[in-house]
Copies of this chain bind each other. A is one copy, B any other.
Amino acid sequence: MARPSSTTTTGRRRASHSMEAVLTEAVALLDEAGPSALTFRALAQRLGGGVASIYWYVASKEELLDRATDHVVGQVLVEVEALPESDDPIDDLRAMALTLFDAIVARPWLGAYFMRNTVVQGSSLRLYDRLGRQTLRLDLTAQQRFHAVSAVVGVVVGTAVDLGQEPPQEVLDGAVDRDEFLGRYAATWRELDVEEFPFVREIVDEFDGHDDLDQFRAALDLALAGLRLQAGARGDP
């Protein structure tokens, strides 16, 4: 039906794929040119095979996306598990979230796809558990723990989604870099009426050329400060 175990095929004239190769090339396509570049035909060409062959490994594009996402989340999971454990669970939670965010910055398409089946199984569920495990070291109710991890994941995904917007062709081509891209919006915003858009005018300089990581870190730290408060903030016994 599906899923080969080991393909020691010599692959003479015909193409021999293996699930690993399919996923690797799929991720490569996503990395190089974004989600719109991942088509069965493009993928088949990269694998040096036919279009329909891919369907032997994957039942649909949805499954391809799921597996490709899980493939890279697995790598993130390894990084997260390699993180040293300190005596402050919240610090550890912070480090994990930052690791996850870094991965999304490196692969913006991940932001949009990360929540696919998060809840279902595989590496995402494991990652979810690793995050939540830190809350077990805090003095909280089960519900508070559930909500705390939801909040952290929410901040990550929320920031990541807006980061994962498929950028206009200009910046993909490298014709326009990110700073100039931001600068254009900033310029528009500076034209707005102060009475009508007082806040936008207030923060336009902050927005112009801002660092996504700073933005994320600030949002994360707000939520974690709230969590620390909730956990009682009582130090060592």
Show the binding face of A for B, using Cβ within 8 Å.
115-116, 118-121, 125-126, 128-133, 135-136, 142-151, 153-159, 161-162, 165, 185, 188, 196-200, 202-203, 205-207, 210, 214-215, 218-219, 221-227, 229-230
CA distance A189 to B202 in the complex (A): 47
Q: Is the CB of A154 within 8 A of B155?
A: yes
Minimum C-beta distance from A96 to chain B (A) = 12
21 contacts between A and B (CB under 8 A): A115-B165, A121-B188, A132-B202, A135-B199, A144-B218, A145-B206, A146-B203, A150-B159, A150-B218, A151-B219, A153-B162, A154-B219, A155-B219, A155-B223, A158-B161, A161-B161, A222-B227, A224-B226, A225-B229, A225-B230, A226-B229
Minimum C-beta distance from A61 to chain B (A) = 13
Q: Which residues from B are CB-within-8-Å of A224? A: 226
Q: Is the CB of A148 within 8 A of B185?
A: no
- Nearest 10 CB-CB pairs, A to B? A158-B158, A132-B199, A154-B158, A222-B226, A225-B226, A147-B218, A151-B219, A146-B203, A146-B206, A157-B158
Q: Which residues from B are CB-within-8-Å of A155? A: 151, 154-155, 158, 219, 223
Beyond the given A132-B200, A145-B202, A158-B161, could you list 5 further A-B residue pairs with CB under 8 A, ordered by the A residue number? A132-B203, A146-B206, A157-B157, A222-B222, A226-B229
Quickly give the copy total for this chain.
2
Name A's interface SS: helix
Q: Which residues from B are CB-within-8-Å of A135? A: 199
Chain B residue at minimal CB-CB distance from A219: B151
Chain B residue at minimal CB-CB distance from A155: B154
Q: Is the CB of A120 within 8 A of B185?
A: yes
Q: Is the CB of A207 within 8 A of B151?
A: no
Q: Which residues from B are CB-within-8-Å of A157? A: 157-158, 161-162
From B156, B159, B198, give the contact of A129 (CB < 8 A): B198
Minimum C-beta distance from A133 to chain B (A) = 5
Chain B residue at minimal CB-CB distance from A117: B165
